[in-house]
């Protein structure tokens, strides 16, 4: 993880030195760099690229469905064209496993990279088109066409491949599809739609005007030079970046005098909620009760079998030790008038949530 600090005005993060191994702007990151992704800000993407912070990847029914349905959609795409459509496995052949480990089909480019889903090639392996596949349970996001942050991903790969056409394939899933993704059958116009664009002339609304992919690539290159090469982040959006800021502030509590306490409390509440969820999902309380009952039963059995002269018994990896300690007869001291003389005060602190007994 990179060494960093907050700027004096707390609006940016500054690396101790520019990153030596920044991650590339992949197609999935380009939309965020451009501020087109409603779920991820340019600052959060900068943190990922510069290795300041990256959200851990977690499998879910959505990612599992996507991985299962993608090959089905590639087979469907091949049916729509007479020939020339290849998956990454088809295109790279025997070297596919080695290429796949790199997660990048554009090793010769310094700033941009990523992995396309399928492509259309000629007999001479010239690139004619790039296909980008998306599965979603939110068809409302596609009512006006392909969402910009997803289209720009496909256009980036087509631009890097100098492909004439760009195709976006959207699969709109129901709950049944998430439960049994292997049963998904693409039907054009119903649960699947293919959108096509001319790569060079397709436009996306950016900064209030229609913008081509070459112009967006130029902007992203300037963004890279301004923020990644310098190690100084774009400005933090206090609202959009609230979650990541909570994490960063715990790493630099001495540099944030405004909200370290509230941040600490928020994180504590979140962790307790996570623990409660895990306890419920995995029946931890029930398991702990069973373990306690077994320990109590084992303890009673070992006590019954302990001789008068024994101070310890062992069986397997368990042992029971007997200790004796002396205690003060408080009532006798009080009667003798000595209790207050030999009593000392100690202070302890108990942390509880409001309303907790």
Task: Flag the least confident range among 43-47, 202-206, 239-243.
Answer: 239-243
Can you tell me the mean pLDDT for 225-254? 88
Any idea where the domains of the chain sit in the sequence?
61-199, 284-335
SS3 of 170, please? strand
Q: pLDDT band for position 333 (50/70/90)?
A: confident
Report which of 238, 260, 242, 241 is spatially closest to residue 251, judged by C-alpha positions.
Answer: 260
Share of residues in the chain with pLDDT > 70 (%): 92
For residue range 153-174, what is the model confidence (pLDDT) as tens digits? 999 999 999 999 999 999 999 9
Task: For residue 20, give Cα distances in angstroms to 15, 88, 162, 173, 265.
Answer: 11, 29, 29, 41, 35
Cα 107 from Cα 217, distance rounded (Å): 17
Strand-pairing partners, residue 86, are: 119
- Give the list of residues 6+ apart from residue 19 with CB closer than 8 angstroms, or none: 2, 49, 50, 51, 228, 231
Tokens of 34: 């451009």
Cα 130 from Cα 165, distance rounded (Å): 7
Task: Flag the least confident range among 125-134, 186-195, 288-297.
Answer: 288-297
SS3 of 351, please? coil
For residue range 4-31, what is the model confidence (pLDDT) as tens digits? 999 988 899 999 999 989 999 999 999 9
Whole-structure pTM value: 0.69
The whole-chain average pLDDT of the chain stands at 88
pLDDT of residue 259: 47
SS3 of 236, please? coil
Cα 12 from Cα 309, distance rounded (Å): 70
Cα 216 from Cα 62, distance rounded (Å): 29
SS3 of 162, please? coil
SS3 of 90, please? helix
């Amino acid at each position: 993880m990179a060494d960093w600090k907050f700027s004096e005005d707390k609006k940016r993060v500054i690396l101790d030195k520019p990153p030596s191994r920044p991650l590339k702007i992949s197609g999935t990151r380009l939309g965020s760099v451009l501020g087109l992704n409603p779920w991820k800000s340019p600052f959060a993407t900068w943190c990922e690229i510069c290795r300041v912070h990256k959200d851990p990847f977690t499998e879910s029914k959505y990612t599992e469905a996507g991985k299962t349905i993608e090959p089905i959609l590639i087979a469907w795409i091949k049916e729509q064209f007479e020939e020339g459509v290849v998956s990454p496995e088809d295109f790279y052949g025997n070297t596919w496993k080695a290429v796949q480990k790199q997660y990048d089909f554009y090793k010769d480019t310094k700033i941009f990279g990523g992995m396309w889903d399928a492509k259309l090639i000629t007999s001479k392996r010239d690139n004619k088109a790039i296909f980008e596949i998306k599965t979603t349970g939110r068809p409302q996001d596609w009512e006006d066409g392909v969402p910009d942050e997803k289209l720009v991903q496909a256009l980036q790969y087509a631009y890097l491949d100098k492909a004439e056409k760009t195709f976006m394939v959207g699969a709109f899933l129901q709950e049944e599809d998430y439960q049994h993704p292997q049963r998904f059958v693409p039907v054009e116009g119903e649960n699947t739609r293919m959108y096509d664009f001319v790569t060079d002339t397709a436009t996306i609304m950016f900064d209030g005007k229609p913008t081509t992919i070459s112009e967006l690539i130029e902007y992203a290159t300037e963004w890279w030079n301004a923020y990644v090469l310098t190690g100084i982040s774009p400005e933090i959006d206090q609202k959009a970046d609230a979650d990541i800021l909570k994490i960063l502030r715990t790493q630099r509590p001495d540099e944030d005098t405004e909200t370290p306490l509230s941040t600490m409390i928020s994180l504590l509440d979140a962790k307790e909620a996570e623990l409660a969820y895990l306890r419920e999902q995995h029946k931890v309380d029930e398991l702990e009760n069973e373990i306690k009952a077994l320990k109590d039963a084992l303890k009673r059995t070992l006590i019954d079998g302990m001789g008068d002269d024994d101070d310890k018994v062992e069986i397997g990896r368990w042992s029971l030790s007997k200790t004796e300690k002396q205690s003060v007869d408080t009532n006798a001291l009080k009667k003798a008038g000595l209790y207050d003389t030999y009593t000392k005060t100690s202070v302890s602190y108990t942390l509880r949530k409001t309303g907790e007994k």
